[in-house]
A and B are shown apart, each in its own frame.
Chain A
Amino acid sequence: MDLIDIISTPFMQRSFLSAVLLASLFGLFGTFIVPKRLGFMADGISHGSLLGIALGLLLGIYPILIAIIVASLYGFMLSRVSSTSNITQDGLVGVFLSGGMGGAIIIMSYVPGYKPELFSYLFGNILTIQWTDIYFLTGFFILVTTIFVSQWRSLVITTIHNDLSHVIDLPVDRTKYFLFIGTSITLIAGVKLLGVILVSALLIIPVLIANQFGQSLRSTFGLTQLIGIFSTLAGILISYVMDYPTGPSVAILLVMILMLALFYKNIKAKLSH
């Protein structure tokens, strides 16, 4: 089967469309989440949101919708944690991760019968992506990019210095809620494609790769977008041809690109000495 045949398959078209939209969304949020050292937050929220998926499966309600509600709550609670709180942000992430996953496994034991869909939610399955998912993603993408454009200045300055952002009168709290809750929803929007276990790879690794080459925010952001979109499309193709789950295919590809980038930087540095 050649590339044209693969691309002309309707479910692959849906996968590619959702891949481009998701990779772009993850690039937007990752640009600000990674420098804030909140990469672990993505893992905690996505893993812990399995609780929502399990609840959805038990109650027979669209699991992704329940997971989005659960993830938004996690994001909201994390954004309420301040530097003077008795509980730390990473501590709370650990609570969401262990509590959410523990709760999900116990709830799943009450779901009767064989649970083949659980594996899809864990590691992603392009066959599960429907047109309704694409419509939701497109709407969400338009909303998020509109907010990003209007809040870009505030996002940049709050990332580098919170006090200065307050002095400049930027909407610090609004920006923080948008970043945390937006990232949480995006993580769950990516679950069908990549699965709860590995979805955070698309948020974190493209930014890490772009940071090896980018010299400015503008170039790093552009590179993040390109790397995210390329690796997700390529990962989907690999998963289709090799019959691998999509999440691991994309994650491994991203890790390999990062290793190559680090190797290249290392060699280049040694040669210049």
Chain B
Amino acid sequence: MIGNKKILSDASCSIPRKALTFLVGENGSGKTTLVKSILGLLPISGGNISFHSTNGTKPILGYVPQNVIFPTPFKLTVSEYLKYAAQVPRNKITNVIKRVDFPESHLSRNITELSGGQAQKMLLAAELYRSPDLLFLDEPLSNVDDSSEKHIIDVILEVKNEGVSVVIITHDWQFVSSYGNHVICLNRNFICDSGYCVCKNSLSKVNIKNIQKTTPDPNSTHSGYCYIENI
């Protein structure tokens, strides 16, 4: 609920540990709302969100939003952002930005002067340094150029292999079909069944091993439940 408006209901899903999970659905289906609810940024009026970590503690969460608008009169540089957001020591800043293909020459640049793709890379660099257990990426490829796309995908796969549970919101079916073993469909316009996922408005059919349908889900026994598995 945002104000009195119901944004998302009957969203039952689970996010598996140490895997790459895609969250798909058309515009306005509530993908970002679901992620923000899991992150505790939006209140939920019903249901339950639970984290099941192996050591019993709350997992470290990471989040890279799609479009970030920084306040223009705030003169924060990229290196200052990394210092304050992720507490990156000065001698490690170069390595941290290299990991996401962020140009070193932009370190002293004001964060408000960055392009959308550069800002997203900077945010990703900070979140990766924080070593989250569960990392949410909202359209991580939407603003980056073609030359950086491969690099970002490699980094995402690398952190997944390091044991991070990664959840990606995306519209990019190519991306989903190439890497998606787990997909959460949050939409009536997708026909998802065991083994495949089809968007009604396109011919693309994606073969997926593990599909979770969230809306509508007549078979759901625990409506409004999001279970985050064994982080």
User: Which interface residue of B39, B61, B71, B111 has the most chain A CB atoms within 10 A?
Assistant: B71
Interface residues of A in 18-44 (CB under 8 A from B): 34-37
Bound form: Cα–Cα A37–B36 in Å: 25
Bound form: Cα–Cα A159–B70 in Å: 9
A157 contacts chain B at the CB level, 8 A cutoff: yes
Known: A84-B2, A167-B63, A216-B80. A159 touches B41 (CB 8 A): no
Q: Give the Cβ gap from A59 to chain B, nearest Cβ, in Å.
A: 41
B115 contacts chain A at the CB level, 8 A cutoff: no
Known: A167-B41, A167-B62, A167-B63. A160 touches B73 (CB 8 A): no
Among B41, B61, B76, B130, contact of A160 (Cβ-Cβ < 8 Å): B76
A156 contacts chain B at the CB level, 8 A cutoff: yes
A214 contacts chain B at the CB level, 8 A cutoff: yes
Inter-chain contacts of B39 with A (CB < 8 A): 163, 166-167
Known: A84-B3, A167-B61, A167-B63. A211 touches B73 (CB 8 A): yes
Interface residues of A in 93-133 (CB under 8 A from B): none
Asked if A163 contacts B36 (CB within 8 A), the reply is yes
Asked if B61 contacts A217 (CB within 8 A), the reply is no
Bound form: Cα–Cα A224–B160 in Å: 44
Known: A166-B40, A166-B41, A167-B62. A157 touches B84 (CB 8 A): yes
**Least CB separation from B4: chain A residue:** A84
Asked if A160 contacts B108 (CB within 8 A), the reply is no
A9 contacts chain B at the CB level, 8 A cutoff: no
What interface size band does chain A fall in?
20 to 34
Known: A36-B71, A161-B68, A164-B85. A217 touches B41 (CB 8 A): no
Known: A166-B40, A167-B62. A217 touches B75 (CB 8 A): yes
Asked if A218 contacts B71 (CB within 8 A), the reply is no
Inter-chain contacts of B63 with A (CB < 8 A): 163-164, 167
Q: Give the Cβ gap from B121 to chain A, nearest Cβ, in Å.
A: 15
**Least CB separation from A165: chain B residue:** B85
Bound form: Cα–Cα A219–B77 in Å: 11
B14 contacts chain A at the CB level, 8 A cutoff: no
Asked if A159 contacts B71 (CB within 8 A), the reply is yes
**Further pairs besides A163-B63, A207-B73: 5, Cβ < 8 Å:** A35-B74, A156-B76, A163-B39, A215-B75, A215-B108
A-B contact pairs, 7 of them (CB 8 A): A34-B73, A164-B63, A167-B39, A215-B75, A215-B110, A217-B76, A220-B75
Interface residues of B (CB under 8 A from A): 2-3, 36, 39-41, 61-63, 65, 68, 70-77, 80-81, 84-85, 87, 108, 110-111, 123, 130
5 tightest CB-CB pairs across the interface, nearest first?
A: A35-B74, A35-B71, A220-B75, A167-B63, A156-B84
